[in-house]
Amino acid sequence: MSGAVELGKGLHWIGVKDPSLTVFDDLFPTEYGTTYNSYLVQGDTHTAIIDTVKRKRFDEFLANIRSITDLSKIDYIVVNHSEPDHSGSLALLLELCPEATVVSSQAARTFLGNQIHTQFGSRIVKDNDTLDLGGRTLRFIAAPFLHWPDTMFTLLEEEGVLFPCDAFGSHYTGEGIFADEMPDFSGETRFYFDCIMRPFKERILQAVAKLDDVELKMLCPSHGPIYRSDARKPIELYRKWSMPKAAGRRIAIFYISPHGNTEQMAEAVAKGAGAAGVHVTLCHINHASVADIRDLMEECDGLIFGTPTINRDIPKPMWDVLAYLSTVSLKGNIGGIFGSFGWSGEACRMLEERLKSLNFKLPAPFVRAPFMPKAEALAECEALGRAVAEEVLKK
């Protein structure tokens, strides 16, 4: 299916599909491609476009608009979020609609000023501000950090249609544009959340709380299928995935151990931490899924990492785990480091630099031991675990 799609009287999807996309923003694999969703809302007196599309798909986007209305009739262009996959066509559209007013948050206006180097009409809106289109009202709901500081939702009040930009979406495209026309794509919805939204769980809970008293009939995200039934389903999933886990003080020990030496050290660290009175989870990173590792990172108050040195470096599986730290919402920033080595021992120092760059507090120096750890090294590991646990218990 291509071309504009009517969602209701005076309400159209005018986005474009990109089914051949395999990697989004050079970062995330997209097995099923994606869509760049844009919407056109016509009131009795004014017309608004809600978000645009990626710049390279402008010609298709423009054709969809022209199939519905003349460009001179466009009064407002709402920018829910200024990331280029949504605002990339804005400059080109403004060249053809110079009288149109761009409606956005203050943060988005600032970001757009660094993307569009020409003057344009602008209206800054705040939480719960409204825009009258004549018989139709757009209400703006501030939702910062979902997933940029500039994000807001737009609600078509009279019909209960929510345009939440990146929130509640998925990188998924199919024959139609509606969720009820698709096979199960829930895995892509969760993957999208984990890759993009997961670091902002507290902000997500704040945003979804603003929707509790809103009667929603349709959910129109900026990526993936539109929910014309069960519009609250992805919203409640976001709430569920963002809720904090109730637990006592916990420490996770992530380690990799090609020859069993670092594993011995991990067990000693766990013994010391457990003796101090915290719950300890040992996690061999090659025996756990990415989801399990991320969950542990978010649920635990302290994170300890054990790595050997291989070819004067941290092994790639552990580098991958360290990369996850910037994709989760951590409860705390207390950590520890240990590891074995053969003829060199650079990995612990590298790991220390990585954690310090993320503002981790390291209550004890790292412990490293050549080849199989001796009793003295294992005692140091116990002391490391105990020091991290005692710091966690101070919280």
- What's the rounded mean pLDDT across residues 122-137? 97
Structure tokens at 368: 């490293």
- Topology of the domain comprising 251-389: Rossmann fold (3.40.50)
Class of the domain covering 5-242: alpha beta
* Predicted confidence band of residue 337 (pLDDT cuts 50, 70, 90): very high
Name the one residue in this structure whose structure tokens are 């004890």.
364
Give the span between the Cα atoms of 347 and 327, in whole angstroms: 22
Predicted structure pTM score: 0.78
* Predicted confidence band of residue 2 (pLDDT cuts 50, 70, 90): low
Q: What is the pLDDT of residues 263-282, one digit of tens each?
A: 999 999 999 999 998 999 99
- What is the residue-averaged pLDDT of the chain? 94
User: What percent of the chain is modeled with pLDDT above 70?
Assistant: 99
Q: What is the pLDDT of residue 247?
A: 59
Q: What is the pLDDT of residue 93?
A: 97
Is pLDDT at 335 greater than 80 in this prediction?
Answer: yes
Residue 319, burial from CB neighbour count under 10 angstroms (0-12, 13-18, 19+)? middle
- What's the rounded mean pLDDT across residues 78-93? 94
Is pLDDT at 344 greater than 90 in this prediction?
Answer: no
Residue 27, burial from CB neighbour count under 10 angstroms (0-12, 13-18, 19+)? exposed
Whether residue 102 contacts residue 120, with contact meaning beta carbons closer than 8 Å, is answered with yes
Q: Where exactly are the structural domains of the chain?
A: 5-242, 251-389
* Predicted confidence band of residue 336 (pLDDT cuts 50, 70, 90): very high
- What's the rounded mean pLDDT across residues 62-69? 97
Whether residue 250 contacts residue 361, with contact meaning beta carbons closer than 8 Å, is answered with no
Q: What is the pLDDT of residues 29-43, one digit of tens each?
A: 888 999 999 999 999
Instruction: Name 365's Cβ contacts closer than 8 Å, sequence gap at least 6.
Output: none
Q: What is the pLDDT of residues 309-330, one digit of tens each?
A: 999 999 999 999 999 998 898 9
Q: What is the pLDDT of residue 327?
A: 87
